[in-house]
Amino acid sequence: MYSVVIPLHNEEGNIINLIDEIESVFRDSIKKKHEIVLVDDASTDKTAEIISEKMKTYPAIVLLQHNKKAGQSRALKTGIERARFDTIITLDGDGQNNPADIPDMIEGFHKQGKTGLVIGWRQKRQDSGLKTKASRAAFKARQWFLNDDTPDTGCGLKVFNRDLFMAMPFFNHIHRYMPVLTKRFGQPVNSIEISHRARGAGQSNYGNWDRFVVGIMDVIGVRWLMKRYDPTVDVNEL
């Protein structure tokens, strides 16, 4: 049983096609009970209205709404807290992650004993040159300061246990640091090559410069956190 959690902000042009693709994958390939938890992060377009209409024919959908824009990480937290099933699958709401890759991600998760994290490694990125360069710069910073060798920490397509996420100290942009935090918990992290698609409609909610500056600040903060937090202590009751 799986909970698919998707954060959304102004994705009226992408969400229906994404839901239909997920439904098709679960119906034809995975064939397991699931839910799709959609978290509308205070969209100003018709995202919520379109989802509400879709819910009439697809009961697996759960729609949650923020009263103000709180960001991707907070939307993920909202959805994961609400999720009914232990295995969480996350992906971006812009349609750039291909739901057809989900079965391979689940297979990889099962191979590592349903523990830790499986994260996508986007091949042939369909992003702008500036966005790609910003991502590479952030990767170099994470690699240098955090010893994080995960090749694509920014990929939204992930599979992990709900308890793992809930045990992590929450902060904004945590979704980019889940690999290094998972390793800090002594659990495995594996990257699986996946496809990447151009955005079908709308525009990115992130600026390249903002992404770079915030990324540097986050790296420093996560390094500080890791030096002061040991999650691997075992407790025995006598």
Query: What percent of the chain is modeled with pLDDT above 70?
Result: 87
Q: Is residue 14 part of a domain?
A: yes
Reported as a single tens digit per residue, the pLDDT across 77-93 is 999 999 999 999 999 99
Q: Is residue 141 part of a domain?
A: no
Question: Could you give the 3-state DSSP secondary structure of residue 38?
Answer: strand
**Span 23-52, mean pLDDT?**
97
Reported as a single tens digit per residue, the pLDDT across 119-131 is 999 998 766 556 6
Q: Domain span at residue 57?
A: 2-127+152-201
Q: Please state the domain count of the chain.
A: 1
CA dihedral of 104, 62, 54, 38, whole degrees rounded to 10: -60
* pLDDT, position 50: 98
CATH code of the domain containing 80: 3.90.550.10
Short-list 115, 56, 119, 68, CA closest to 92: 119
* pLDDT, position 222: 83
Give Rg (Cα) of the chain: 17
Short-list 120, 122, 127, 182, CA closest to 157: 120
Question: Could you give the 3-state DSSP secondary structure of residue 35?
Answer: strand
Confidence of residue 68 (pLDDT cuts 50, 70, 90): very high
Q: What is the DSSP string of 109-158?
A: HHHTTT-SEEEEEESS--S-HHHHHHHHHHHHHHHHHH----TTTT-S-E
SS3 content of the chain, % helix, strand, coil (to 5): 45, 15, 40
Confidence of residue 60 (pLDDT cuts 50, 70, 90): very high
pLDDT for residue 207 is more than 60? no
